[in-house]
Amino acid sequence: GGEFILLAAQEGVGKTEFLRALEYHVLKETPAGVNIGIIHLEETKGRAIKGLIGYELKSPVHLPDSMVNKEDMKAAYRVLTKGDNRVHYYSHFGSDDISVILGMVQFLLGPCGCKFLFLDHISMVVSGIDTDDERKSLDFISTRLKMLAESYNATVVCVSHVNDEGKTRG
């Protein structure tokens, strides 16, 4: 608890899938009372859920030609989450205001009691704001996320893109 972890890599190398594997691992290896929060800004809630179910069933259930029926997916999700209200999602395809994202993180860590929070991706949070200094915006949100992780004794894991030189954007 109290950790802020940043996973950084170039676009298209599998950061989201790696993050999903971490989400799945946390769900499998922690007891039912340990809640997690998931904020995926590049995909819908349904896609995020199907990704986790796919790990549980060892089948790509998100693909249109998946032969897995909805009842089997629901049953797998119930087994994976070990009960109701353990996994909390915030889905918003595209960028959102920094204060909205930080407010949602605070809500997930506070009232929802999440001990793990996964944010994919931090770069997108600042990409839609009107600023001349993306670096300052990334510094601001990173500092706030670290402070929230510490104050709620939670682990916050974020994804960030890097540029062609391997440097974090901004």
Task: Among 2-11, 20-29, 159-168, name the most confident range.
Answer: 20-29
The span from the CA of 20 to the CA of 48, in Å, is: 8
Residue 134: pLDDT above 70? yes
Please say if the pLDDT value at position 166 is more than 80.
Answer: no
Angle between helical axes of 15-29 and 70-81 (0-180°, round to 10): 60
Distance CA 137, CA 59 (A): 39
Would you state the structure tokens that stand for residue 141, as one six-digit string? 């949100």
Closest by CA to 125, choosing from 159, 91, 101, is: 101
- CB 131, CB 85: distance < 8 Å: no
Cβ(88)–Cβ(37) below 8 Å = yes
pLDDT in the model for residue 169: 60
Q: What share of the chain is helix, strand, coil (3-state, %, to 5)?
A: 45, 20, 35
pLDDT digits (tens, 9 = 90+) for 50-101: 999 999 999 988 888 888 899 999 999 999 998 788 999 997 655 567 888 8
Going by C-alpha positions, the residue among 111, 104, 123 that lies closest to residue 38 is 104
What is d(CA 65, CA 15) in angstroms, rounded to the nearest whole number? 24
pLDDT at residue 127 is higher than 70: no
| C-beta of residue 56 within 8 angstroms of C-beta of residue 76 | yes
Looking at residue 165, what is its pLDDT?
78
Per-residue confidence at 123, pLDDT binned at 50, 70, 90? confident
- For residue 29, pLDDT over 90 is answered with yes
Percentage of the chain exceeding pLDDT 70: 92
% pLDDT > 90, the chain = 58
Mean pLDDT of the chain: 88
